[in-house]
Amino acid sequence: MNNTWGLLGPEFLPNTRRTRNLGLGASVRSFNDLAVPGLGGVWYGKQLLLATLGVAVAETARSRGTKVQNIEAANAIEALACWLAFKSNDWGTDARLRGSTKLQGKDDFSFRYVRQRNFYVTQPMRMATVQALPALGFVESDGSRFNAFHCSTAGKDFIEQATAGYRPRNRTIIEHLTLWVQMKENNVDTDALRQVLSPLEPLPNELIPLLRERLIQGGNELPEDKKRRTNALTWVESLRRDKPDRLMWTQQPVMISEEHWHDLQSGALFFEVRDATITALDTLEAHIGGRSNGQPYSLKEPIPDALKAPIEKLKSAAREYLDAKHVNEDAKKFCNECIADNSSRILRSLVGRDGHVLRLLGDEIKPGPAFRGVAPQATADDQDQETPHARNIPLPANISNRMRNLYRLNLDMLGELDSWLNLEADRSKE
């Protein structure tokens, strides 16, 4: 899947990120929420712990008169966690860690430095937890902003069980990190903190029942959302246990309702349209980039040969989505734009929605602020931002990545994520 799509793109352009919303962010979120409600981008347990710790530490520090926001504390704790983990594995690559480029060579972890925005990655894992923390009941909030979160009783229990027995300088983890945030303690390079915070260290076995209960019971959610997430968890556990071959969309599992299955399949068809859209736009970008003197492409010109196949693939994918007759009106409108008989009309619509990598001026398509003129290539920093590949997760094609994330989270709760990630790393070298 090309990673130029979405509301939050990888940080591989320092000034302008190649994100393409195309006015469809709400549809993307909707299909993901219908797949596994409340999970956000979470795929292993430490993400939830680090973010919950950030909220709890910020609250404690504020109660003592220190001005600090939840985001500052959570980002700093995450940066510290990854730094401790990288030091423990000799700066080896791992899908659970971010910031290898940003953190390497840094040795002053005073909070006054770590809290600064440019200290760590611009898209920390904390951002993947904004929906999950309140949905699973780890925090309470009247809004959706991370800075408005307050640690709930379940969140406090989560932290207490995760940190029990670990006492840096004979303090609790909360107390030690709070003093750090208050800039009264700078020694955070301790074995106790590494064991608690490092994403490479598993959650304590005693904590897993609480996490599983949160996934099932959730927080202040609709009963249908809790039911869908519970059924999805049951399904991915059956896949882990039975290890079937890759499933087809004709193989509906017994624990997934007809309505849920239709939403999953419709979402997959929409994501296929999304990928075909990005391929077409990338092909057009490369065509313009290959022209002499940066000459723009006019919609009055014949369609380039290189674009014909991508456009036909896009039209076919859009028709398949429309045939599914899903109720998402924004996705339906977009797919109707993608099946126009005139290919130039399709390009006009796509570029009009883009305006970021490519922009439309009258009948001319010109480079936008994130234009490169070549097909995007993933970099090491991009992969810092991505969840691992999923070639050995036997789910139907193009299904929401939320379902794959739930599969990984289930592995983590069963103590099998390390071996799975190692297998994935070995397969990627083949």
Give the model's pLDDT for residue 10. Answer: 29
Mean pLDDT of the chain: 91
User: In the chain, which stretches have pLDDT less than 70?
Assistant: 1-18, 375-391, 425-430
Chain Cα centroid distance, residue 309: 30
Give the model's pLDDT for residue 286. Answer: 94
Give the model's pLDDT for residue 429. Answer: 56
141-173: buried (b, 16+ CB within 10 Å) or exposed (e) per residue? beeeebeebebbebbeebbebbbeebebeeeeb
Residue of 286, 303, 308, 296 whose CA lies nearest to 363: 296
Give the model's pLDDT for residue 424. Answer: 73
Give the model's pLDDT for residue 245. Answer: 85
Contacts of 329 (CB under 8 A, 6+ apart): none
Phi-psi region of 226 (alpha: psi -120 to 50; beta: other; left: phi over 0): alpha
Give the model's pLDDT for residue 15. Answer: 36
Continuous H helices in 189-342: 191-197, 208-217, 223-242, 258-289, 305-324, 329-337
Give the model's pLDDT for residue 55. Answer: 98
Give the model's pLDDT for residue 275. Answer: 94
Report the run of H or E that residue 359 belongs to, with start and end.
Answer: strand 358-361
Secondary structure class of 244 (helix, strand, coil): coil
Reported pTM:
0.91
